[in-house]
C-alpha cells in the first residue's frame, strides 16, 4: 500500500512539474509572419526577443516600425537568415531558440505604464523605472542607419520640404527616395549634397526654397526613405505635369503618380 501511495505521489509531482514547464515555455509567436506595420502581442514578443540579445533598443510597444525593421534585418544578417525585414517562420524559430521571453514581465510593465527594458543577462528589477513615461528618442537618433550623417539627413529634409511639402506623406518619402536612388546611380554624383546641388536638378535649389526650415513630417519622410521605403519604385526622376516646362522629361518611362508628381525611370 505504501509503495502504491509513493508511486502515486511521484507521478502526481511529475505531472505538476511537466505542466509548470509547458506553461512557462509555451510555443513562441502565434504563427503569422510579421512585417512593418504589424501590431499586437506577436510584435511585443518580437521586440522583446530582439532586445534580449541586444539588437533592438527602442520601446517595446507592439508596433512594428522602422526601428523594429532595422533591428530584425541586422539579426537576420548576423545569423545567416534571408535579409528581408520580415519575421517569418524560420526567423521566429531561430529567435525563439536563442532567447527567453518572460511574457508576464513584459506585458505587466506595459500595462502599468512603466519605462522598462528587457536585455538578457540583467536582472529584471534593475530594468524598470516605475510610473515613468518612456522617453521618446528622436526618429533621427534612434532609426537612422549609421552610414548617414546628421548633415545628410538635414539636407534631405530641406530638399523634401522645399520640393514636396504640399504632397501626401508617401509622395514626400518618394522624393527623398529619388535623391537616394540618384546617389547610387552611375549617372549622378555619389553624395547627397552632390545630387541635391547638381546644377538644374531641383527647383527648390534654383528658387531658394531649399533653405526653408523643414517640419517634422519632412524629417520623418527622410527617415523612412533612408531605412528602405521607396514608394517611387526605384525612380531617378520626378516632375509635376502641371508646371513642367521640359519636353525631355516627358520622354522618360513613367513608373507611377503620387500626388501631383509623376515618377520616372
Per-residue b/e over 51-86, b at no fewer than 16 CB within 10 Å? bbbebbebbbebbbbbbbbbbbbbbbeeeebeeebb
Given the C-alpha cell 513615461, which residue does it identify? 133
| Closest of 118, 150, 123 to residue 222, by C-alpha | 150
Same-domain pairing of 120 and 148:
no
What residues are paired with 39 via a beta bridge?
63
Same-domain pairing of 158 and 200:
yes
Residue 124 lies in a domain: yes
Angle, vertex CA 168, rays to CA 166 and CA 170, nearest 5: 135
Q: Give the pLDDT confidence of 57-92 residue by residue, as tens digits.
A: 888 999 988 788 878 988 998 899 998 889 999 999
- Is the pTM above the cut of 0.85? no
The CATH number of residue 81's host domain is: 1.10.101.10
Same-domain pairing of 102 and 40:
yes
Write out the H or E segment, with its range, that includes residue 115. Answer: strand 115-116
Contact 200, 252 (CB under 8 A): no
Question: Where is the domain boundary, 135, 162, 177?
Answer: 135
Percent of the chain with pLDDT over 90: 43
For 163, the grid coordinates are: 520640393
DSSP 251: G
Residue 16 lies in a domain: no
Per-residue pLDDT of the chain (265 residues; tens, 9 = 90+): 555 555 555 555 555 444 444 333 445 788 889 988 888 899 999 999 999 998 888 889 999 887 888 789 889 988 999 988 899 999 999 999 999 999 999 999 998 888 899 999 889 989 998 655 444 444 444 455 557 788 889 999 999 999 999 898 889 999 999 999 999 999 999 899 999 998 988 888 888 889 999 998 899 889 888 888 888 999 999 999 988 888 899 999 999 999 999 999 9
Same-domain pairing of 150 and 61:
no
Same-domain pairing of 32 and 119:
yes
Residue 229 lies in a domain: yes
- Parent domain of 33: 28-135
Same-domain pairing of 120 and 229:
no
The CATH number of residue 148's host domain is: 1.10.10.2520
For 184, the grid coordinates are: 547610387
Same-domain pairing of 131 and 151:
no
Same-domain pairing of 260 and 153:
yes
d(CA 48, CA 61): 9
Same-domain pairing of 159 and 118:
no
Residue 172 lies in a domain: yes
Question: Where is the domain boundary, 135, 157, 190?
Answer: 135
Q: Give the pLDDT confidence of 119-145 residue by residue, as tens digits.
A: 998 899 899 986 554 444 444 444 555
Same-domain pairing of 222 and 260:
yes
- In this structure, the number of other CB atoms found within 10 A of the CB of residue 239 comes to 19
d(CA 177, CA 226): 7
For 174, the grid coordinates are: 518618394
Residue 11 lies in a domain: no
d(CA 261, CA 252): 14
Same-domain pairing of 121 and 61:
yes
Residue 98 lies in a domain: yes
Angle, vertex CA 75, rays to CA 221 and CA 39, nearest 5: 55
d(CA 50, CA 73): 11
Same-domain pairing of 79 and 148:
no
> Based on the structure, what is the number of domains in the chain?
2
Residue 110 lies in a domain: yes
Residue 240 lies in a domain: yes
Question: Where is the domain boundary, 105, 135, 165?
Answer: 135
Amino acid at each position: 500500500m505504501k509503495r502504491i501511495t509513493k508511486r502515486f505521489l511521484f507521478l502526481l509531482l511529475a505531472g505538476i512539474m511537466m505542466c509548470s514547464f509547458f506553461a512557462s515555455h509555451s510555443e513562441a509567436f502565434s504563427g503569422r509572419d510579421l512585417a512593418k506595420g504589424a501590431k499586437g502581442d506577436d510584435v511585443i514578443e518580437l521586440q522583446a526577443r530582439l532586445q534580449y540579445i541586444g539588437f533592438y533598443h527602442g520601446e517595446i510597444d507592439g508596433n512594428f516600425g522602422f526601428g523594429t525593421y532595422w533591428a530584425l534585418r541586422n539579426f537576420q544578417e548576423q545569423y545567416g537568415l534571408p535579409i528581408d525585414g520580415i519575421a517569418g517562420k524560420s526567423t521566429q524559430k531561430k529567435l525563439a531558440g536563442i532567447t527567453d521571453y518572460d511574457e508576464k514581465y513584459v506585458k505587466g510593465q506595459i500595462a502599468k505604464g512603466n519605462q522598462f527594458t528587457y536585455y538578457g543577462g540583467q536582472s529584471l528589477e534593475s530594468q524598470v523605472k516605475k510610473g515613468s513615461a518612456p522617453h521618446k528618442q528622436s526618429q533621427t537618433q534612434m532609426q537612422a542607419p549609421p552610414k548617414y550623417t546628421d548633415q545628410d539627413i538635414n539636407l534631405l529634409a530641406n530638399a523634401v520640404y522645399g520640393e514636396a511639402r504640399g504632397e501626401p506623406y508617401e509622395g514626400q518619402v518618394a522624393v527623398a527616395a529619388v535623391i537616394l536612388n540618384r546617389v547610387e546611380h552611375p549617372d549622378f554624383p555619389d553624395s547627397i549634397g552632390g545630387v541635391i546641388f547638381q546644377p538644374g536638378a531641383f527647383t527648390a535649389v534654383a528658387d531658394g526654397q531649399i533653405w526653408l526650415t523643414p517640419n517634422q513630417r519632412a524629417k520623418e519622410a527622410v527617415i523612412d526613405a533612408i531605412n528602405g521605403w521607396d514608394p517611387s519604385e526605384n525612380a531617378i526622376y520626378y516632375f509635376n505635369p502641371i508646371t513642367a516646362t521640359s519636353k525631355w522629361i516627358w520622354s522618360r518611362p513613367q513608373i507611377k503618380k503620387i500626388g501631383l508628381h509623376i515618377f520616372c525611370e
